[in-house]
């Protein structure tokens, strides 16, 4: 991916941030989805592609759909400049669905050699916000893809609301909406106007606090949404089009899947819960999700799994109301050395009777931040008696369906090996048949 | 997932087809390579282009066609793998290197190539040449783009329009 993250991690305001905010913004920017247009021009090589000296403007004679194809590959600034080329080009950009990556609007990118004046640096964030406003106003829509990532939204609330109104009116499909947080407190509420963007198919949010449901418009719906990647918020999914929910390095106290008939994937990576640092809690409630195939990583001890109306606890028995039979791939993160966490693993596995691929990420029991530290019953030296696994009893997916087990960061401690032994003894019979 | 040997129904030696350029030059090429063109694929599936017949291409001259076929031959193996899910990074890097070199050409050739890729509907080539022109445009002012792409000198009206544009679209020039 082109380094949009690097473009955004500069500027005067960035250097003024405190260490933890800067680290957080670095991570948020580094995990942005790669934008569809790039400023890099690896094929440019102007010397070899010199125009013939005959003064015939060959390119403008090309069919307009080819001109559109060319313009659709340009960053917004370059694309807008083509409207000044000649008559034939005047409306080409306007007839191509807009792709706007705000990082590409940062001043001085057009002529890289131009020395930056001190004032440029001081006014950089304001400059981007202004440029975004003018670009969004200049294009009639539809908006295929817009990245709004370089603006501290608390200082630009009016603009942010205006942008969302334009996005809603001009049919935004793909939106990356990140608040350039200047302090670590994530208390800026997502403008409710966002929920008017009913044409969204993909939504990526970063550094926002979700507004209380009372503040939301009555009919807040994204009927076409297929993929969402929020950060720092509670998620409630009730959608007949959503297919993927992904949380990466986000603080998500709760994910509730109410009714999601097409949801296939819930991807969680460093999805932190809420609460004191040594006891973060995040609720994952799964209601109606008949097509859910991939789920993980569930973190034992932090993620509180709820299926239907049942909270899954140690020893919860498998029954139709406590299982999600459609899940084929499951990821679990666990500290085998911490007895209370390790004991959750059989319970998790019982909820997904048809899992074929199991990812297990073994965590260092001494590592405290993120989820529960060493538990009562943790011996601290990686020991865990095999009895825990014997008590677990039969588990449908282990005995019948698991075909592939991927172990990550195994340290080969006794508790790790006990788990392996448990899986091997039970799954071996079905593996022999393979 | 197609089985590795499923192929296109021919056995043994690869099937060849003949393409005839606008200036009557005949090119014999593997059907798999020519089939990268959506337009040709239909004719070839119908059994055309074999034996002494040949498929006439009245819009493509021999210089352009040989260039087009150079691209198709290079890309045919990867395309046969259905987007090559098992292609190694080395293979992909090699194709990318080839592509970069391939469009390092005179603009008159480039534009003939753009039209040929468009008419023959060769998706990969269409996107490669469009990317090439886009890269030639990136980071330049309208005047620089005009010069790079070989536009004639602007008329006074065009010059005035360019100046007005700069004021109206200030954000695109910062």
Q: Residue B53 — very low, low, confident or very high, per pLDDT cuts 50/70/90?
A: confident
Q: Are A100 and A183 contained in the same domain?
A: yes
The reply to whether B60 touches chain A by the CB within 8 Å rule is no
Residue of B nearest to A120 (CA): B174
Residue of A nearest to B171 (CA): A131
Residue B174 or residue A274, greater confidence:
B174
Q: Are A257 and A153 contained in the same domain?
A: no
The reply to whether B159 touches chain A by the CB within 8 Å rule is no
Q: Are A240 and A268 contained in the same domain?
A: yes
Q: Are A222 and A240 contained in the same domain?
A: no
On whether residue A109 sits in a domain, the answer given is yes
Structure confidence at residue A139 (pLDDT): 96
Q: Are A260 and A206 contained in the same domain?
A: no
On whether residue A402 sits in a domain, the answer given is yes
Chain A positions in Cβ-Cβ contact with residue B147 (cut-off 8 Å): 51
Q: Residue B1 — very low, low, confident or very high, per pLDDT cuts 50/70/90?
A: very low
Residue of A nearest to B101 (CA): A43
The reply to whether B151 touches chain A by the CB within 8 Å rule is yes
In chain B the domains, ranked by start, together with CATH numbers, are 16-138 (3.30.710.10), 139-174 (no CATH)
Residue of B nearest to A84 (CA): B162
Q: Are A94 and A78 contained in the same domain?
A: yes
Chain B positions in Cβ-Cβ contact with residue A136 (cut-off 8 Å): none
Chain A positions in Cβ-Cβ contact with residue B121 (cut-off 8 Å): none
User: Cβ(B65)–Cβ(B116) under 8 Å?
Assistant: yes
**What is the tally of structural domains in chain A?**
2
Q: Is the dihedral of CA B27, B30, B36, B39 positive or negative?
A: positive
Structure confidence at residue A160 (pLDDT): 94
Cross-chain Cβ contact A75/B138 below 8 Å: yes
Structure confidence at residue A411 (pLDDT): 80
User: Cβ(A267)–Cβ(A284) under 8 Å?
Assistant: no
Q: How far apart are CA A140 and CA B119, in angstroms?
A: 30
Structure confidence at residue A235 (pLDDT): 62
Q: Are strands A294-299 and A265-272 parallel, antiparallel or unpaired?
A: parallel
Chain B positions in Cβ-Cβ contact with residue A77 (cut-off 8 Å): 171-173
Q: Are A337 and A259 contained in the same domain?
A: yes
Q: Which among A227, A246, A280 is the end of a domain?
A: A227
Q: Are A430 and A324 contained in the same domain?
A: yes
Q: Are A395 and A379 contained in the same domain?
A: yes
Q: Are A321 and A399 contained in the same domain?
A: yes
Cross-chain Cβ contact A63/B118 below 8 Å: yes
Tell me the three state secondary structure of residue A401: helix
Chain A positions in Cβ-Cβ contact with residue B150 (cut-off 8 Å): 51-59
pTM of the complete model: 0.75
> Is it the case that residue B6 has pLDDT exceeding 70?
no
Q: How far apart are CA A354 and CA B89, in angstroms?
A: 34
Structure confidence at residue A46 (pLDDT): 55
For the segment B16-45, the average pLDDT, to the nearest whole number, is 93
On whether residue A340 sits in a domain, the answer given is yes
Q: What is the ipTM score, two decimals?
A: 0.89
Residues 6+ apart with CB under 8 A from A8: A25, A29, A103, A149, A150, A180
Q: Are A245 and A181 contained in the same domain?
A: no
**Helices and strands (DSSP H and E) totals, chain B:** 8, 3
Cross-chain Cβ contact A39/B139 below 8 Å: yes
A-to-B residue pairs, Cβ atoms closer than 8 angstroms: 149
Q: Within its chain, how far is the Cα of A374 from the centroid?
A: 30
Long-range contacts of A14-19 (CB under 8 A, 24+ apart): A16/A182, A17/A182, A17/A183, A18/A183, A18/A184
Structure confidence at residue B35 (pLDDT): 93
DSSP sequence for A33-97: PPPS--S--TT--TTTTPPPTT----GGGS-HHHHHHHHHTS-HHHHHHGGGS-GGGTTTGGGS-
Cross-chain Cβ contact B138/A131 below 8 Å: no
Cross-chain Cβ contact B145/A85 below 8 Å: yes
On whether residue A216 sits in a domain, the answer given is yes
Cross-chain Cβ contact A70/B130 below 8 Å: yes
Q: Which among A227, A250, A265 is the end of a domain?
A: A227
Q: How far apart are CA A314 and CA A345, in angstroms?
A: 8
Structure confidence at residue A126 (pLDDT): 53
Q: How far apart are CA B4 and CA B27, in angstroms?
A: 29
Chain B positions in Cβ-Cβ contact with residue A52 (cut-off 8 Å): 106-108, 150
- Cis link prior to A297 (omega < 30° from 0)? yes
The reply to whether B101 touches chain A by the CB within 8 Å rule is no
The β-bridge partners of B56 are B20
On whether residue A56 sits in a domain, the answer given is no
**Residue A146 sits in which domain range?**
1-37+62-227
Q: Are A267 and A400 contained in the same domain?
A: yes
Cross-chain Cβ contact A78/B138 below 8 Å: yes
Q: How far apart are CA A223 and CA A198, in angstroms?
A: 6
Q: Which among A178, A202, A227 is the end of a domain?
A: A227
User: Cβ(A374)–Cβ(A381) under 8 Å?
Assistant: no
Structure confidence at residue A245 (pLDDT): 81
Average pLDDT, chain B: 86
Residue ranges of chain A with per-residue pLDDT less than 70: 1-2, 46-53, 55, 108-127, 185-186, 210-239, 248-250, 274-278, 365-386, 428-434
Residue B162 or residue B53, greater confidence:
B162
Cross-chain Cβ contact A58/B111 below 8 Å: yes
């Amino acid at each position: 991916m082109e380094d949009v993250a690097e473009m955004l991690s500069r500027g005067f305001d960035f250097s003024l941030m405190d260490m933890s905010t800067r680290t957080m913004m670095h991570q948020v920017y580094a995990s942005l989805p790669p934008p569809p247009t790039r400023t890099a021009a690896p094929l440019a090589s102007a010397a070899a592609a010199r125009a013939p000296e005959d003064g015939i403007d060959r390119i403008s004679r090309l069919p307009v759909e080819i001109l559109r194809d060319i313009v659709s590959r340009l960053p917004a600034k370059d694309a807008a400049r083509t409207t000044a080329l000649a008559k034939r080009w005047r409306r080409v950009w306007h007839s191509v669905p807009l792709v706007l990556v705000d990082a590409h609007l940062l001043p001085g990118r057009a002529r890289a050699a131009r020395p930056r004046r001190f004032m440029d640096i001081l006014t950089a964030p304001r400059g981007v916000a202004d440029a975004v406003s003018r670009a969004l106003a200049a294009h009639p829509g539809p908006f295929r893809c817009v990245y709004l990532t370089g603006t501290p939204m608390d200082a630009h609330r009016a603009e942010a609301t205006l942008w969302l109104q334009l996005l809603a009116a001009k049919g935004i499909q793909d939106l990356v909406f990140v608040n350039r947080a200047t302090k670590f407190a994530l208390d800026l509420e997502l403008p409710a106007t966002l929920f008017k963007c009913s044409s969204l198919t993909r939504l990526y949010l970063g550094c926002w606090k979700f507004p209380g449901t009372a503040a939301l418009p009555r009919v807040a719906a994204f009927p076409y949404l297929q993929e969402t990647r929020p950060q720092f918020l509670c998620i409630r999914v009730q959608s007949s089009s959503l297919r993927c929910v992904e949380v990466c390095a986000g603080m998500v106290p709760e994910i509730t899947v109410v009714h999601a008939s097409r949801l296939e994937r819930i991807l969680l990576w460093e999805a932190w819960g809420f609460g004191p640092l040594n006891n973060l809690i995040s609720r994952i409630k799964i209601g109606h999700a008949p097509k859910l195939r991939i789920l993980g990583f569930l973190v034992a001890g932090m993620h509180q799994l709820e299926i239907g109306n049942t909270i899954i606890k140690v020893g919860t028995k498998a029954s139709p109301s406590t299982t999600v039979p459609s899940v084929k791939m499951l990821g679990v993160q666990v500290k085998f050395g911490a007895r209370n966490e390790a004991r959750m693993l059989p319970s998790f596995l019982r909820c997904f009777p048809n899992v074929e691929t199991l990812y297990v990420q073994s965590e260092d029991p001494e590592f405290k931040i993120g989820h529960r530290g060493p538990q009562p019953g943790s011996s601290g030296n990686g020991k865990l008696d095999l009895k825990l696994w014997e008590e677990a009893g039969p588990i449908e997916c282990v005995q019948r369906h698991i075909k592939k087990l991927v172990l990550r960061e195994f340290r080969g401690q006794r508790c790790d090996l006990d788990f392996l032994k448990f899986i091997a003894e039970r799954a071996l019979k079905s593996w022999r048949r393979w | 997932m197609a089985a590795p040997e499923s192929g296109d129904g021919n056995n043994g030696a690869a099937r060849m087809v003949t393409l005839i350029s606008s200036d009557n030059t005949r090119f014999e090429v593997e059907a798999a390579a020519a089939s990268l063109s959506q337009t040709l694929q239909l004719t070839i599936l119908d059994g055309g282009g074999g034996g002494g017949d040949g498929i006439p291409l009245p819009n493509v001259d021999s210089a352009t066609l040989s260039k087009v076929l150079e691209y198709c031959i290079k890309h045919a193996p990867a395309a046969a793998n259905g987007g090559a899910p098992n292609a190694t990074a080395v293979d992909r890097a090699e194709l990318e290197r080839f592509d970069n070199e391939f469009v390092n050409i005179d603009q008159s050739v480039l534009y003939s190539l753009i039209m040929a890729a468009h008419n023959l509907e060769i998706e990969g080539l269409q996107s490669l040449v469009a990317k090439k022109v886009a890269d030639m445009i990136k980071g330049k002012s309208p005047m620089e783009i005009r010069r790079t792409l070989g536009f004639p000198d602007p008329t006074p009206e065009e010059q005035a329009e360019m100046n007005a544009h700069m004021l109206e679209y200030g954000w695109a020039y910062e």
